[in-house]
Amino acid sequence: SKRSYHEKVLDHYNKPRNVGSMAKNDTDVGTGLVGAPACGDVMKLQIRVDPNDNTISDVKFKTFGCGSAIASSSYLTELVRGMTLEQAARIKNTEIAKELCLPPVKLHCSMLAEDAIKSAISNYYTKNPKAKVTDLGGTGASMPKIEVETVTASAATA
Ligand code: FES
């Protein structure tokens, strides 16, 4: 039927990749926690960064949300592994939505994934300010906005 999830969504939903957590206080780990105000769904995404080349060496997520949000975060973890922070910060939710064939009503679910990776990168930069200096490629200017979203998400889970 028209309302059923696309098979790619179901695949990620049934076999989510990289579910889990990392030690939040590890200096090499960036944690993003974001929420979607419209539905209350929450996504936690963590990245482990190789400080030698600023690439994402590992990534884990936990999503309390709909099937599209789980699929979006699962797909995102596969997408960002091996990327530099700068590359990962440029991921747009539309790429995720396109890959998973999300309908318009589910676009905000993929937005949650975009917000989550940006929030995780922002958190990593906060812990490792020097990494940001060596990795500024024009994306840095948009970072402060993400802190606000992180605060919103924390409030949503409280
Ligand atoms: Fe809100 Fe999917 S319905 S994240």
Q: For a substitution probing ligand 1, which of 45, 64, 106 has the most ligand atoms within 8 Å of its CB?
A: 106
Determine the Cα–Cα distance for residues 123 and 17; give it in Å rounded to an integer: 22
Helical packing angle, 7-14 and 93-100, nearest 10°: 100
pLDDT in tens, 94-120: 999 999 999 999 999 999 999 999 999
77, containing H or E segment: helix 67-80
Q: If you measure from the C-alpha of residue 66 to the centroid of ligand 1, how many angstroms do you get, rounded to a whole number?
A: 5
pLDDT of residue 132: 83
Structural tokens at position 91 = 């991921």
Is the pTM of the predicted complex or chain greater than 0.90? no
50-59 mean pLDDT: 96
pLDDT of residue 4: 67
Q: If you measure from the C-alpha of residue 119 to the centroid of ligand 1, how many angstroms do you get, rounded to a whole number?
A: 18
